[in-house]
């Protein structure tokens, strides 16, 4: 009788177990992922994502076109993360970085080695590897609005207004994500702890100083859960590696050197907080101090003191603006110091310096980095004066967003310490020809509605 095992087609778990996961052709691997996670990939097809249809793309089919016959941005982004895991493990620096450019921004080889060592050290067995792949695949399922609707139908609770990580966390707890049923109980709990961390603390937001010190409280709660943290950090690295996968699925286009340095800083801050070596504010300030050190290496000479509120506010703006050189830093320094009233500057500085407490919540103006980038690039000639005018307009808008009025506090639940205001509503303004000619039109725009980003412990 013919051995039935000999005829059995390999599945994803078996190719991970026998080590062929690292060597089989990419398309074969993608086919196995499709077979392993049908419901999860279906949800990713439903995930909404704003993409630039004019962005250049490589020749050939995208990952989602190959698997499903049409483009699905979140599938491309997610599965490039799976491929990036292979590039790191296989020490394939060339593929990982091949379309990153320009030369000065490409991930350095020593940075690639640092990342690779994190993965080699923490993926000790095939179950660890499989757990990480599951974590990658499910990470953005909360972006499918149907997940919150299905949850509401199941348990009669509306969770549609919380962030997508929290939607995923709640959905897992009631057994709505089948992929997790294939994990050991220990690994499932590690993934759940990591997603819970992600629902309160966003790695990318800290990397850009987009959140507030109070948003780091979840890191303190990770003490004693180092394995879960390492798994979450690896997943976040791969999520970022695939972040441009809808535009270029052939490399980790987004993981350039400046962004890597930001994420390495976040890793160091997280370790320091989990080891109880620094306070939340001290940990947060590491991000600001290292950004200034980076700018100094590019020639930025102005001396700033983290203990002076307006200096600290400017250091935070350097992070929010993703500045990488002295020229970009000067644009923000000029816009902040010279292109707004003293009253507006003080309001902005005050808001940017709040830690976030029950008595005085901080505001997290989500997507500010993307809006600053958009504003600075929508100019007539690209001159520094035009960039200063555009950035100052957005900083004045940000100052309005940072103010929390008594009527806002009355509408929010007791115990909120960080309020989220999503500033993507101004994107059409920033992209308009009118803003290009006159950035001051932003002054007439209203601020976004309030959402809860973080609650104080015990609430």
How high is the pLDDT of residue 2? 45
Res 248 pLDDT > 60: yes
How high is the pLDDT of residue 161? 78
Classify 14 as helix, strand or coil. helix
pLDDT digits (tens, 9 = 90+) for 354-385: 999 999 999 999 999 999 999 999 999 989 99
Least confident span in 40-44, 104-108, 455-459: 455-459
Alpha carbon distance 170, 361 (integer Å): 25
Omega before residue 325 within 30° of 0, cis: no
Residue 88, CA distances (Å) to 97, 112, 221, 241, 417 in order:
11, 8, 29, 11, 38
Q: Which residues contact 389 (CB under 8 A, 6 or more apart)?
A: 339, 379, 439, 440
CB atoms within 10 A of CB 27: 12
Alpha carbon distance 77, 92 (integer Å): 19
Classify 38 as helix, strand or coil. helix
Res 53 pLDDT > 70: no
Alpha carbon distance 120, 391 (integer Å): 42
> Which strand (E) or helix (H) includes residue 362?
strand 362-366
Alpha carbon distance 228, 188 (integer Å): 10
CB atoms within 10 A of CB 405: 8
Strand pairing category for 362-366 and 416-422: parallel
Share of the chain above pLDDT 70, in %: 97
């Amino acid at each position: 009788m013919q051995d039935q095992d000999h005829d059995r087609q390999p599945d994803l778990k078996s190719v991970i177990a026998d080590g062929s996961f690292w060597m089989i052709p990419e398309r074969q691997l993608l086919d196995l992922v499709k077979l392993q996670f049908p419901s999860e990939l279906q949800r990713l097809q439903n995930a909404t994502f704003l993409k630039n249809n004019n962005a250049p793309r490589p020749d050939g089919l995208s990952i989602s076109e190959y698997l499903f016959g049409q483009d699905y941005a979140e599938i491309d982004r997610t599965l490039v993360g799976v491929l990036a895991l292979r590039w790191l493990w296989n020490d394939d620096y060339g593929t990982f970085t091949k379309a990153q450019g320009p030369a000065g921004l490409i991930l350095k080889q020593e940075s690639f080695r640092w990342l690779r060592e994190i993965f080699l050290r923490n993926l000790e067995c095939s179950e660890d590897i499989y757990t990480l792949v599951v974590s990658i695949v499910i990470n953005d399922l909360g972006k499918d609005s149907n997940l919150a609707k299905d949850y509401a139908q199941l348990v009669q609770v509306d969770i549609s207004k919380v962030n997508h990580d929290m939607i995923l966390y709640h959905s897992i707890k009631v057994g709505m994500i089948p992929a997790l049923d294939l994990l050991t109980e220990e690994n499932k709990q590690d993934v759940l702890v990591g997603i819970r961390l992600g629902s309160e603390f966003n790695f990318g937001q800290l990397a850009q100083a987009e959140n507030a010190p109070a948003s780091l409280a979840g890191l303190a709660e990770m003490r004693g859960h180092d394995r879960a943290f390492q798994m979450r950090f690896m997943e976040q690295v791969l999520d970022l590696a695939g972040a441009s996968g809808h535009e270029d699925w052939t490399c980790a286009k987004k993981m350039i050197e400046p962004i890597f340095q930001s994420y390495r800083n976040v890793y160091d801050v997280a370790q320091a907080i989990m080891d109880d070596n620094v306070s939340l504010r001290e940990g947060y300030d590491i991000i600001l101090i290292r950004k200034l050190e980076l700018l100094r290496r590019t020639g930025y000479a102005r001396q700033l003191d983290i203990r002076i509120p307006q200096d600290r506010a400017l250091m935070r703006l350097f992070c929010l603006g993703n500045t990488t050189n002295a020229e970009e830093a000067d644009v923000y320094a000029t816009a902040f110091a010279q292109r707004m009233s003293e009253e507006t500057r003080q309001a902005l500085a005050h808001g940017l310096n709040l830690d976030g407490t029950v008595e005085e919540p901080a505001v997290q103006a989500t997507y500010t980095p993307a809006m600053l980038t958009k504003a600075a690039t929508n100019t007539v000639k690209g001159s520094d004066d035009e960039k200063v005018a555009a950035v100052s307009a957005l900083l004045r808008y940000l100052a309005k967003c940072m103010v929390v009025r008594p009527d806002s506090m009355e509408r929010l639940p007791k115990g909120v310490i960080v309020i989220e205001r999503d500033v993507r509503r101004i994107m059409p303004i920033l992209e308009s020809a009118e803003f290009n000619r006159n950035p001051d039109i932003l002054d007439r725009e209203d601020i976004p509605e309030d959402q809860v980003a973080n609650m104080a412990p015990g609430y």
